[in-house]
Structure 1
Amino acid sequence: MKPISKIKITGLAFGVVAFLATNLMAVPQSKQYPEYPQSNPAPAIEATATAPAKAYTEAPPAAAPTRPAATKTTTTTTTTKTTVTESKPATVVTTTTESKPAYVAPVSTGAIGNRFDSNLYTIEKTLLSAPGEVGSAYQYRVRVTALADITEVRVTEHLPEGATYVGSTPDVAKSGNDLNWGYASMRKGEQQDTVITVRPNMEGEFLTATKVCVDPVARLGFRAGSPRLAVEKIGPREAELDNRIDYTVRVSNVGTATAKDVVVVDNLPSGLRGNEAQPTYAIGTIAAGETKTVNIPVTAASQGQWVNKATVTASNAASVSAESPVNVVLSRIGVTKTGPERQTITRNATYTIAVTNEGSSTLNNITVTDDLPKGSKLVSASDAPVTQNNNQVVWNVASLAPAQSVTRNVTITAAEPMTTTNKVTARTGKGLTATAAATTIWDGPPGVLTEIIDNVDPIRVGDPVTYTIRITNQGAYREVNSQIRVIFSDEITPVTCSDKTATITGKVVTLPDMLLKPRGVITFKIEAKGAQEGVATTRLEFNSSFLPKPINKDETTYVY
């Protein structure tokens, strides 16, 4: 018959308790006892593991006994099956013990002493260091692994008599032969290790017992959060008057719950104009961690510094605001060009270019380009232009503050009569442009011949006399305008003129302005008579726009 023992494992209130044992063996130095008769055997408790041999209760003989050749050595093996119940009345577990002749051998380092498995946790005891000698340090590990969420994990390690506690990692509380520690809670899959060091102070086999009590946990998770809004408003720092400005408003929920009934209101200042005074955008809900974007177009209506403020509200979150300042400016560049309206060929014509910042913001990277007319020739250009040839002169201006001006000069000439238009363009780095032009008529040198002659000299008082006037444009390049007057002295009185457009007022005959083509001739006659005795002087007065003053030609006639 096999001996049968009953081992009772008690279930604690709201928890599970398990007992686990690990065997240590110690013998004197330089001695080995390969076999001993078993004395007072006691069963070891374990779960799904094989327990080591029982502890000796009697000291071994002074010398190792000689084993007879015919003697058969046997070992004792204990197989234990354990059933654990949680938070229920105590359960009686029947353990069947099968005994055989015993053989005792030293325990090897790294061997697993015992392991207990339940549906809530496992306990595993592993011998880490076993020198096998009295007075040496033995070290083993107790590992608790949670198979579910558990709380109030309490571990008690019972050390046998003859084994002195040396230390543990981490530290534990010692009470007599018991070591106590615990964990407030363990999550499923979590492991906790405790390494214990003891020192046997006598020979024998030592049994350490581990008791673990836990409370199972049923968890129900739920979350409560709060929405929290954040807003960012993005827009240009500077904008041109009457231009469109595009603002971007980014609304984020940086909280932990959904924001509801979210509305964006753009509070436009007086200098900005939108579709409505306060553009409003309803964007609904924003989940936690989500960002929504609103684009707001407006127009820069007035110059000056303006602050555009966007406010975001929600039915379940505090309102937030963001501002974007903008400087509305008028960027305008102006350019003028002045030069002679007429110039004689082969002479020089100098033009002055003035570039002015007519706006309210600084202009940068300005390029001034003067396109020279075809047929002209560059003589000189001021202020070290970056480009200069007979086609173009280019200057660079780094910047112009509001109302600031710079001037540049260019001198050209022409070899043939022509009309030229000299055009200049000023362009900023942002693409603002302004243009100006100056037109010059290039004339050939004029040459005018004036003649007046009487047909009879002398004459009697009352006798007729005829004066022939001839104006000749001797120039080959240009026509000239003419202003002609014939003035008589008291001795002669004009009567008629062959040019019917002429007017006679007293002693003066005047012809209207007329153009005289190159090589052209104007000829007309004035009929007069002697008025009184004396030497009469008749003066031809010719004037033209190219002359600084009139040219006079006199004809004398003696009257008797």
Structure 2
Amino acid sequence: MKKLALFLVLFAIIVSGCNQQQTEISVLPERAEGSEQFVENGGPGITEATYTDEKGKAWNIASNKVSVPIQEDCEEPDVALETDVPLILPQDSLIPTTVAVTTYQNQLFVATAEKPEVQTKTEVFVPKSPPKIRLEKSTDQDVLCCNDQLTFRIKYTNDGGDDAYNIKITDLVPDNVEYLEDSVGTEPFIGDIYIDRSFEDRAEKITWLIEGPVPPGAEGEVYFTVTCKRKRPKLRCVVCIDPETVVVGDTAVVVCNVLNSGDGVGTGAKLILSLPPEFEYVKDPAQRELEFDLGDIAPQQTVTKEFSVKMTGNGKLEEIISTIVIDNGEGCQCGLPPTASLTIQKTGPYQLKNSKPMVHTIVVRNTSSTVAATECVLVDTLPEGVRFEEASNEGQYDEANHTVTWNMGTMAPGAAETRTVTVIPLRSGNFTDNAEVTCAEGITVKDDATTIVKGQAAMHISKYDSDDPVAVGDTTTYTIEVRNEGFEDATGVILENEIPELTEFVSASAEDPYSKKPIAFTTEGQKVIFAKLPLLSSGDKVIFNVTVRVSAKGQLLNRTSLRYDQFARTLIVEEPTSTYE
């Protein structure tokens, strides 16, 4: 029966495909049954984009939605097998046909295509329509296996008739998965990438900024990867003393309660205690460091450990330090005197182009609800290869150490302070900015942020005339300086200068900045066309001169155009000149 069905499918492809250029039929795998959890993403409010045309008019759109089931275990993927499949063509068929067949165990993919017999070309004039960006969201897997990864891909296509600029795509990371660090990207158009994070440093929203232009018909893609949300233990402990007050010579029972409030098992839990000199362990008075095995602690489980100590001198029971450690996560401490507790979070752009300003934000919080932190100082160490631009809140820049310092003073319980620093990258590469805050209570916390700077050729044209105004019969020279201000080399540089009406060409000159030889030029009517400059390296410049003679009184306008391989558009600069008799 399967062979008969296969034959019918093939025959249907051949017969129905007689009037089509290409037909594709595929048998897709069914969605796995029993999957109760899905990764859903896309649509308004989740995956959106804005863009403008070259005049600044703005539009916004949303993507389609995707839904992928999550499975704990997945089978190995099918391996393609080469199989001979019988193919029967109608005896009277004279249409040249190609057939491709691939089988995957119980699945069959067949594609047929007719070779066109005639090619025609028609040229028509179609007036430009505005840019129109279309978003199409997809995933690279039908199922998210918890031992694997899932990549979201957002394809954007300009279906309009004009270039699109400033495309801003935003996407929210679904709650029931985790973003895989450093998996975000954009192709083939380079863009800036920003990642918004929660207080717990979880990636929540990703933003791509593609400056453009994205020409009509062009398409690009942004993407990021997620994994299954890991189950983590979260331990906290409480120490109680019975009785609450003891005197020298008395014995007290120390009760340590350890609660796992997370959603994962804490494995290999141990209770470690350091006794101050005024106390001794009843079972072994010489032992100052105590260690107890607590085993595995399940989610929402509380484990209790009791031991007795004897007070041998004047001291405080709360000075007994109790520490919980586990094999698969962070432990906790309890029994310590109340102190301030600081956190620091540093964020910045994930990716930038050339010398765009790099702004990093530093947030310092005192998470204690009762104790202030005093004499706090924040120091931000800037990476090599950047130039300091500015700092908020009167931050002091130290050029010798390449650091910015803020004296933050006292941080009250629950207080949060925000500081920003702006730098300009001087080259492409990876830049890591380190921030550290210290307080008088001995607290030190650190964080860093890394930004990737992508290099790109970026040409700047400056132009001026030697005499303005100029008398009829006299000459003036237009000097054009072309500088590569990007971080990558420019190739295929061609400059054309259109001399004004009411003038006559006199001379032109330019010098190759590397060989020091003159750059050749030709004239065509009012145009002076310089030969192609093969290379203009990052930071280098080349100067062109064009001299003309004024033949009649009037307002002159000199026009210069520049093209190079790394930029699809033509740069144009104009210089007006006045004349008199």
TM range (shorter): under 0.3
State the TM-score, normalized to the length of structure 2. 0.26
Q: Which has more radius of gyration? A: 1
State the TM-score, normalized to the length of structure 1. 0.26
